[in-house]
Amino acid sequence: MGIKEVLEKLKKEGLVLEVEETLSPDVEIPILSSKLASQTPKAFLFKNVEGKEYPLVTNLYFNKFETIFQADSITLLKNFKMLSSILFDVSLDPSSKITLLARLAWVSEFYPKTIEASPFIRRSALDVDLGKLPALRHSSGEEYPVIKNPIIILFDKKLDKTLIYSEPVQVVDEKALLLHTPKKSKASLFLEEAAKHGESIDIAIIIGVSPHLQLVSNMDWIPWFNKYLLAGALSGKSVSLVRVEKNFYVPAEAEMILVGELVPGDVRPEGKMLYEDMQLYGGSPMPLVRVKSIWHKPTTVFYTSLTHPYNSDEYTLNTIREKFMLEYLQLFAPDISYLTFLSYDAYRTLILALNNPHPGRAFEVGSLVFSLTLNPNLDTIIVFSEKSKIDKIKVKELLPSLLSALRPEKILYFETIHEEDVLRQDKRGKIIVDATSLSLDYYDEEGYFLSDKHVKLREAYEKIIRELRGS
């Protein structure tokens, strides 16, 4: 099911707001969309984007998870548990052999399939004008328009290796893009390996894929698993692939594919970009992508997420990914009962809850989580007790309470990082905080972030966290 099928389904449910007026993608559409999202769960289809060639859809997933995925999170989690048991829970007992073979047969049904007939129209390098794409500027301070939630495929011909992931992309000019690549990410390691042989690598930036592939694209913490296979197993249907440009295969359900090349070491300073903490960061060198062709459907709908701590597709998708992540972490630490990333902190802070915790165990689990690289930007882990019942609170409602947790005697671990931070322009440290004995006094987190009433609390928290991180 591609973007158009999703839109048709949402239209039948009355969940699409179609906007006929001509609006600018620079600030105007993002501000209008974020304000509308606070009032309605509908997707927004902007049919006339000023100066752009394609209509734009955003907030496709926001508050519509079960409608989009045609299943609840429990069903998806059940399928994910089946997959993880194959990867991590292989018994050596001979009596379990039949069960294992049955599970492998089940997985094999969802192996990606290739199709011959291409559904795309190809535009050559001479016809490429990336300035016609309705990428968004969320703030006047953003230097370049940004595409959020694209699927990125890197293909190293020399090493015959492929990487599929998702990160924001900046549109630099009519032929070039900047690829946001956090240090320590799989993409960064992939490019470092490619730099050893110095040859260019192929890249495809894919706009508008099936919901299940969109969901798994940012789950880089799962090792050794093909994301096409994972998306197929979660959806119950194999991902169909089609060949573009020699032996480069991409999802056939995509709306648009930007195909180009990337030369390791060919970088340019990243333009300032808005993050979920509503701050602008940039300036670090990022890989430059030179686009050579565009492949698109005959009637293309361009998709991108908003940048917002709550009112966005990325926030909705991350709430589901966190359920999968918890299942994965419990394979290593069964006493983890809950986890969530703080979106208003640009997903840099992870909240964990442990059963029957103590400071020593908080340190062990925090160290384990850092070693697994759940998120390349993660730098703060705050460990609570399961007795705090943080999973029972409506949103997360934690932030003001963290003020009392961020005390020097509660810092279990602090490490200064002496390398350039791709998110911040300054240096940062890694922190593990013991909040296992904290008695929580709850506030509504979303109201806290958005309301002027809590501005002093917010400023106090931000001051403390900056000091802890060495900002």
Structure-block tokens of residue 195: 């730099």
Q: Are 150 and 207 in contact (CB under 8 A)?
A: yes
Cα–Cα distance measured from residue 122 to residue 248, given in angstroms and rounded to the nearest whole number: 14
pLDDT for 358-389, tens place per residue? 878 888 888 888 888 888 888 888 887 776 65
Closest CA to 381 of 414, 408, 417: 414
User: Which residues have C-beta within 8 Å of that of residue 448, sequence separation ≥ 6?
Assistant: 399, 400, 454, 457, 458
Amino acid at 377: N
Tens of pLDDT along the chain (471 residues) come to 788 888 999 999 999 999 999 999 998 999 899 888 888 889 999 999 999 999 999 999 998 888 888 766 677 788 787 777 666 655 555 556 666 666 667 677 788 888 887 888 898 888 889 999 999 999 888 999 999 999 999 999 889 899 999 999 999 999 999 999 988 889 999 999 999 998 999 999 999 999 999 999 999 888 767 889 888 888 888 899 998 877 788 999 999 999 999 998 899 999 999 998 888 888 889 999 999 999 999 999 999 999 998 889 999 999 889 989 998 898 889 999 888 888 878 888 888 888 877 878 888 888 888 888 888 888 888 887 776 655 544 334 455 445 444 554 555 555 544 444 444 444 445 777 766 654 443 334 455 445 555 566 556 556 655 655 555
Q: Which residue type sits at 161?
A: K
Phi, psi of 435 (to 5 degrees): -120, 25
CA 289 from centroid of its chain's CA atoms: 20
> What gap in Å lies between CA 78 and CA 376, rounded to an integer?
27
Cα separation, 465 vs 471, in Å, equals 8
- What's the pLDDT at 346? 85
Q: How far is CA 70 from CA 43, 73, 214, in A?
A: 16, 10, 15
What angle separates helix 313-329 from helix 73-88, to the nearest 10 degrees? 40
Q: How far is residue 43's CA from residue 40's CA, in Å, rounded to a whole number?
A: 9
Is the distance from CB of 174 to CB of 128 less than 8 angstroms? yes
pTM above 0.85, yes or no: no
Return mean pLDDT, the chain.
Answer: 81
Q: pLDDT digits over 85-110, tens only? A: 666 655 555 556 666 666 667 677 78
Instruction: List the structure tokens of 19.
Output: 């906007």
Beta bridge partners of 434: 383
Nearest to 380 by CA among 308, 470, 442: 470
